[in-house]
Amino acid sequence: DTEVTQTPKHLVMGMTNKKSLKCEQHMGHRAMYWYKQKAKKPPELMFVYSYEKLSINESVPSRFSPECPNSSLLNLHLHALQPEDSALYLCASSLMSTGELFFGEGSRLTVL
């Protein structure tokens, strides 16, 4: 199994809603990532978890709250988002010893 699975594929939410994005991998990877990608731009790193601990937070606003319940799962909790947060949110994972990232298909988020 060489897949990173993200749900939901599409999400529309209002600025007062609370929602979560989910990511799962069963490749035994110990690093997991959240990226944000705007149209026609490269992915921007948000968070990195290494061995289930948050190791990198790229100064992301607190309305985005990551969670890593176990080595296979990664969540991104969303609350009080702004319309400019609308984007494709990508989850990725990697073995600790290599730089190759395996990406999911992404969750397309629209904030109204």
Identity of the residue, 32 or 81, whose beta carbon is nearer to another protein in the bound complex: 32
**Is position 92 an interface residue for another protein (rule: CB under 8 A)?**
yes
Q: Show the site string, 57-86: x = touches another protein by CB under 8 A, - = not.
A: ------------------------------
Among 79, 64, 65, smallest CA distance to 19 is for 79
**Is position 106 an interface residue for another protein (rule: CB under 8 A)?**
yes
Smallest gap from Cβ 48 to another protein, in A, equals 5
Identity of the residue, 4 or 21, whose beta carbon is nearer to another protein in the bound complex: 4
Cα 3 from Cα 17, distance rounded (Å):
29
Smallest gap from Cβ 41 to another protein, in A, equals 8
Q: Are 46 and 23 in contact (CB under 8 A)?
A: no
Q: Would you list the DSSP string of 27-55? A: S--SEEEEEEE-TTS--EEEEEEETTEEE
Q: Are 32 and 95 in contact (CB under 8 A)?
A: no
36, exposed or middle or buried, with CB in 10 Å at 0-12, 13-18, 19+? buried
**Is position 55 an interface residue for another protein (rule: CB under 8 A)?**
yes
Q: Which residues bind another protein (CB under 8 A)?
A: 4, 31, 33, 40-43, 45, 48, 50, 55-56, 90, 92, 94, 99-106
